């Protein structure tokens, strides 16, 4: 007979509750030092900007856009792995994008309306952003990188954290999972 | 513990090395076959485009890995850049047993008779170190045949009027055409061209105890899930091992070729799977590490007898680095033309490989392999947005309406397009890395435009409503997976690195057996030619050995 069976059910439950409470108290204590986050690399503020940015890159229409398909989660995950070399680019780039948004529209990027977000990104894309804090060409380079990574998240295998529910494969009418073609042709 | 002396060391278990190891072990020589990677498994990547050898956004499926490997690219202005295997421009070839033959598209081309004597046919080309091969097509023909029958090639060369003469037909019938190829076939015939099914190192029917292709979509950039695609890893290497004479030593990276006090090459240093340095000795050594790594190894093997690297007394090792300039066109059709039916590439023509006014060499034209979704996000006509709703609509509307026709343009060899070893950058093991420099020639640009125009014409005839060419990519540093030319074979030791059997001129017992030997690289994917050269070099060594020659 093991220890657990010696304890009555009620006693066991109350012990469990104490346990849970204890954990949450500990968590609160930790909050003062480092916020608990589901993100591996990004801060909550960065996530807000990046969510808005990836949604501009692949917007929601009749099917899911990049934000809901998990692009930010994908990028966050890869930044701690194969994208490690791009950590600084994201940290700096998101900050500068926010500055450009404040400069031009006096509003945070994620709070801009859709049209103004698009206007700002088109200026960056065409290398026409003036009076900015970016080094020459750095804004376009940053945006190109985010486009590339967003595409990878959306069209790559869902196992990497994007392309939720195979949304892009369905959009492209691809067999998912792969169907063997042996009998389709003679 | 000291490694037991063997008859032969083969460095690199790819297209060339596999055939060499098979020939030598069948002839009774004891062989150690070195491979820097391990065995690749399809299940490791499954249908994961982001790891495929074509995209490699999250790293190469079959190596080399970013953590331990890098190269240096030297730009025209002298500036340099360190690049990792998953970056563009690295010129990667898979680092695993079978190497490129694991993840390649498996087109199984013989070069044409003309490809061995370009200089004689076309004369000098400005800026080019163009030369004829020291051997003719007929010298290599038996080796092509051996490659086709021992590894297994499907196709029907009787449908190609430009096909070089052969003694034996291909062992397997061709693949049936997919939807796109059927449409392209009719269009080519209307243009008076000569389309035919692509010869493939793939089983169209069961062959050599491996099953027939079941035509799913992970056919290029991936290993084949059922081994219907032939590579050295599932043909010649297992057969070599079966003889009991060949030991495959995986995860072992050869760092240096060793020379004794008499100037005689006697073995190699290598780092084993635990990164410990070991020595292996042998009577004869064959380097088949691919054109770039073979040159790097020779250049890194310096001694008082070979102060500039082995075989490099006349400064030819690493020179004439060539790849293929891929050129062609895309077309958007009114209806869906793409059926996602592997391997995808199905139809080709050789009308533009030779004898076209003002063009030296040329290229085959073929339709493209299976299409991958992320890859398609970068395929856009000029001016079409790469992001936003327009991106998504293009992707959704055109994924199955776009066809691509393209070909590997035969680049003109350039003495200044080269591999050297970097003076300061080293890899994980402390070995100086390869530095790539130089650029393609004007003749290549001209050829690329010519082929792109033909590709566009083909697509328009096939009914494409909108087309665009993909030729003007700039000259850039050559190389790529089709890397060749860095250890040119020739009769004149002053103007080549090896003799016509791949023996390095300055040595009695060191051979090269990979694309490095190619004097010119053909307007074709070079895998079958590299395999054939492996049979040639391996067959020569085995014959000599039987006669008592110990290459002293």
Model pLDDT for residues B515-528, shown as the tens digit of each residue: 999 999 999 999 99
Nearest Cα of chain A lies from the Cα of B22 at a distance, in angstroms, of 33
CB contact under 8 A, A180 and B340: no
Nearest Cα of chain A lies from the Cα of B367 at a distance, in angstroms, of 18
Residue B552 belongs to some domain of the structure: no
Q: Which residues of B383-403 are buried (b: 16+ CB within 10 A; e: fewer)?
A: eeebbbeebbebbbebbbbbb
Number of structural domains chain B divides into: 1
Round to whole Å and give the CA distance between A146 and B381. 21
The answer to whether B57 contacts chain A (CB < 8 Å) is yes
Q: Which of B388, B391, B364 is nearest to B379 (CA)?
A: B391
CB contact under 8 A, A57 and B388: yes
Q: Which residues of B527-542 are buried (b: 16+ CB within 10 A; e: fewer)?
A: bbbbbbbbbbbbbbbb
Find all residues with CB under 8 Å of B426, minimum gap 6, and list them.
Answer: B432, B433
Find all residues with CB under 8 Å of A64, minimum gap 6, and list them.
Answer: A164, A165, A167
Q: Which of A56, A121, A178 minimises the CB distance to B47?
A: A178
The answer to whether B457 contacts chain A (CB < 8 Å) is no
pLDDT tier at A33 (50, 70, 90 boundaries)?
A: low
Q: Which of B216, B392, B400 minimises the CB distance to A58?
A: B392
Contact (CB, 8 A) for A103 and A132 = yes
CB contact under 8 A, B373 and A155: yes
From chain B, pick out residues whose CB is under 8 angstroms from the CB of A118.
388
Residue B73 belongs to some domain of the structure: yes
The residue count of chain B comes to: 552
Which residues of chain B, if any, have pLDDT below 70? 1, 472-473
DSSP B68: T
> Does the pLDDT of residue A7 top 70, yes or no?
no
Q: Which of B50, B372, B388 minimises the CB distance to A59?
A: B388
The answer to whether B392 contacts chain A (CB < 8 Å) is yes
The per-residue pLDDT of chain A, averaged, comes to 83
First to last CA, chain B: 26
Q: Chain A 73-92, CB below 8 Å of chain B: which residues?
A: 78, 81-82
CB contact under 8 A, B387 and A152: no
Contact (CB, 8 A) for A105 and A120 = yes
Residue B31 belongs to some domain of the structure: yes
**Residue A134 token pair:** 């970016």
Find all residues with CB under 8 Å of B355, minimum gap 6, and list them.
Answer: B114
DSSP B254: E
pLDDT tier at A165 (50, 70, 90 boundaries)?
A: very high
Structure confidence at residue A175 (pLDDT): 78
The answer to whether B341 contacts chain A (CB < 8 Å) is yes
CB contact under 8 A, A156 and B218: no
Contact (CB, 8 A) for B68 and B488 = no
Q: Chain B 348-367, CB below 8 Å of chain A: which residues?
A: none
Residue in the block written with tokens 């590490």? B289
The answer to whether B87 contacts chain A (CB < 8 Å) is no
> Does the pLDDT of residue A134 top 60, yes or no?
yes
Round to whole Å and give the CA distance between A8 and A10. 6
From chain A, pick out residues whose CB is under 8 angstroms from the CB of B391.
57-58
> Does the pLDDT of residue A140 top 80, yes or no?
yes
From chain B, pick out residues whose CB is under 8 angstroms from the CB of A151.
374, 377-378
The answer to whether A176 contacts chain B (CB < 8 Å) is no
Round to whole Å and give the CA distance between B91 and B83. 10
> Does the pLDDT of residue A4 top 50, yes or no?
no
Tell me what percent of the residues of chain B surpass a pLDDT of 70. 99
Peptide bond into A164 cis (omega under 30): no
Neighbour count for residue B136 (Cβ, 10 Å): 12
Contact (CB, 8 A) for B511 and B502 = yes
Structure confidence at residue B472 (pLDDT): 63
For position B287, which CATH number holds?
A: 3.50.50.60
Q: Phi and psi for B442 in degrees, rounded to 5?
A: -60, -35
Domain extent for B385: 6-546
Residue B89 belongs to some domain of the structure: yes
H or E stretch at B174:
none
Rg of chain A in Å (alpha carbons)? 23
User: How would DSSP label each residue in B437-505?
Assistant: E----HHHHHHHHHHHHHHHHHHHHTT-SEEEE----------STT-B-TT-B-S-GGG-SB-TTSBBT
Round to whole Å and give the CA distance between B352 and B365. 8
Q: Chain B 463-492, CB below 8 Å of chain A: which residues?
A: none
**Residue A117 token pair:** 């977000």
Structure confidence at residue A2 (pLDDT): 43
The answer to whether B389 contacts chain A (CB < 8 Å) is yes
Q: Which of B49, B57, B342 minimises the CB distance to A181?
A: B342
Instruction: List strand residue ranges (DSSP E) for B496-541, in order.
Output: 510-512
**Residue B376 token pair:** 């398609």
Residue B551 belongs to some domain of the structure: no
Find all residues with CB under 8 Å of B494, minimum gap 6, and list them.
Answer: B314
User: pLDDT tens-digit profile of B70-85?
Assistant: 999 999 899 999 999 9
CB contact under 8 A, B389 and A172: no
Residue B164 belongs to some domain of the structure: yes
CB contact under 8 A, B214 and A160: no
H or E stretch at A88:
helix A87-105
Residue B1 belongs to some domain of the structure: no
């Amino acid at each position: 007979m093991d220890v657990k069976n010696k304890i009555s059910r009620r006693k066991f439950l109350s012990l469990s509750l104490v346990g849970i409470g204890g954990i949450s108290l500990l968590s609160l204590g930790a909050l003062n030092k480092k916020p608990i986050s589901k993100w591996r690399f990004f801060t909550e503020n960065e996530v807000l900007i990046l969510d808005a940015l990836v949604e501009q890159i692949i917007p929601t229409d009749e099917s899911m856009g990049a934000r809901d398909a998990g692009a930010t989660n994908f990028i966050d995950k890869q930044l701690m792995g194969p994208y490690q070399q791009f950590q600084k680019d994201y940290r700096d780039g998101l900050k500068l994008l926010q500055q450009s948004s404040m400069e031009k529209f006096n509003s945070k990027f994620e709070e801009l309306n859709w049209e103004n977000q698009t206007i700002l990104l088109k200026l960056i894309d065409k290398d026409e952003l003036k009076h900015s804090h970016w080094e020459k060409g750095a804004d376009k380079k940053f945006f190109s990188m985010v486009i590339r990574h967003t595409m990878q998240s959306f069209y790559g295998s869902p196992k990497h954290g994007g392309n939720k529910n195979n949304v892009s494969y369905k959009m492209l009418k691809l067999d998912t999972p792969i169907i063997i073609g042996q009998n389709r042709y003679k | 513990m000291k490694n037991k002396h063997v008859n032969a060391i083969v460095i690199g278990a790819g297209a060339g090395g596999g055939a060499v190891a098979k020939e030598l072990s069948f002839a009774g020589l004891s062989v150690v076959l070195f491979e820097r990677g391990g065995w690749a498994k399809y299940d490791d990547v499954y249908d994961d485009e982001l790891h495929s050898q074509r995209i490699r956004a999250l790293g190469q499926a079959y190596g080399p890995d970013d953590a331990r490997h890098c190269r240096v690219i030297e730009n025209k202005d002298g500036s340099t850049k360190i690049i990792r295997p998953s970056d563009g421009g690295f010129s990667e070839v898979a680092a695993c047993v079978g190497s490129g033959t694991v993840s390649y598209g498996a087109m199984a081309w013989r070069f044409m008779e003309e490809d061995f004597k370009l200089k004689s046919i076309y004369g000098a080309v400005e800026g080019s170190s163009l030369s004829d091969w020291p051997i003719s097509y007929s010298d290599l023909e038996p080796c092509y045949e051996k490659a086709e029958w021992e590894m297994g090639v499907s196709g029907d060369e009787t449908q190609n009027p430009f096909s070089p003469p052969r003694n034996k037909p291909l062992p397997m019938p061709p693949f049936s055409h997919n939807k796109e190829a059927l449409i392209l076939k009719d269009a080519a015939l209307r243009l008076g061209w000569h389309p035919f099914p692509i010869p493939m190192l793939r089983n169209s029917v069961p062959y050599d105890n491996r099953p027939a292709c079941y035509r799913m979509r992970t056919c290029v950039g991936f290993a084949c899930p059922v081994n219907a695609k032939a590579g050295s890893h599932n043909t010649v290497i297992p057969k070599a091992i079966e003889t009991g004479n060949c030991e495959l030593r995986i995860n072992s990276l050869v760092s240096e070729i060793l020379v004794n006090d008499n100037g005689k090459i006697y073995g190699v240093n290598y780092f084993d799977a635990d990164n410990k340095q070991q020595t292996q000795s042998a009577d004869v050594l064959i380097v088949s590490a691919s054109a770039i790594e073979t040159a790097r190894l020779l250049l890194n093997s310096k001694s008082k007898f070979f102060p500039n690297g082995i075989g490099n007394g006349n400064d030819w090792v690493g020179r004439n680095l060539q790849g293929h300039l891929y050129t062609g066109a895309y077309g958007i059709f009114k209806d869906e033309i793409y059926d996602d039916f592997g391997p995808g590439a199905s139809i080709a023509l050789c009308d533009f490989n030779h004898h076209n006014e003002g063009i030296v060499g040329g290229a085959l034209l073929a339709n493209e392999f299976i299409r991958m979704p992320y890859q398609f996000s970068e395929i856009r006509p000029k001016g079409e947005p790469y992001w936003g709703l327009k991106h998504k609509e293009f992707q959704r509307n055109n994924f199955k309406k776009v066809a691509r026709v393209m070909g590997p343009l035969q680049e003109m060899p350039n003495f200044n397009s080269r591999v050297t070893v970097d003076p300061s950058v080293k890899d994980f093991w402390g070995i100086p890395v390869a530095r790539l420099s130089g650029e393609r020639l004007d003749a290549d640009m001209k050829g690329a435009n010519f082929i792109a125009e033909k590709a566009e014409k083909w697509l328009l005839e096939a009914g494409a409503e909108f087309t665009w060419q993909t030729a003007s990519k700039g000259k850039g540093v050559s190389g790529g997976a089709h890397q060749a030319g860095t250890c040119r074979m020739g009769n004149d030791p002053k103007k080549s690195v090896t003799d016509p059997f791949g023996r390095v001129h300055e040595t009695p017992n060191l051979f090269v057996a990979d694309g490095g030997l190619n004097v010119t690289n053909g307007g074709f994917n070079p895998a079958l030619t590299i395999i054939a050269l492996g049979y040639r070099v391996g067959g020569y060594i085995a014959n000599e050995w039987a006669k008592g020659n110990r290459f002293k």
